[in-house]
Amino acid sequence: MALEKDKIEEALKKLPSELHDEVLNFVESLLERNRARDAHVAGNGTPSVRSLFGSWDSGDPRSADNQKIDADLAGEYGDSHEADS
């Protein structure tokens, strides 16, 4: 995807000035993600598993906490998953 600077600048003109930095940061993060993805493409042209690391935000700041993950797994393994009557 080619970055079309003119289109971004036109879009920024339509937004309140207090949003400009947020939009530019977002565009930069997309470009960085794209560069990282391109750097992790396997020899056969398919993205490697590493390109998926950090690609999803659960909204839980503790989602990568190993102790929390272990507790969640233990709770699921101990649950019969049968419907409560």
pLDDT in tens, 14-52: 888 888 888 888 888 888 887 776 766 666 667 677 777
CB 39 within 8 A of CB 33: no
Predicted TM-score (pTM) of this structure: 0.38
Q: Does 76 fall in a domain?
A: no
- What integer pLDDT is reported at residue 42 of this predicted model? 62
Query: In degrees to the nearest 10, what's the CA dihedral of 58, 62, 63, 64?
Result: 130
Q: In sequence order, what are the beta bridge partners of 84?
A: none
Instruction: Decide if 39 is inside a domain.
Output: yes
- Whole-angstrom Cα distance, residue 26 to residue 48? 24
Confirm if 23 and 12 have CB atoms less than 8 A apart.
yes
User: In this prediction, what percent of the chain has a pLDDT beyond 90?
Assistant: 7
Per-residue confidence (pLDDT) for residue 45, from 0 to 100: 67
Query: Structural domain of residue 25, as residue ranges?
Result: 1-54
Q: Report DSSP state, residue 46.
A: S
As for how many domains the chain has, the answer is 1
Task: Tell me whether residue 66 is in a domain.
Answer: no
How many CB atoms neighbour CB 5 within 10 A?
9
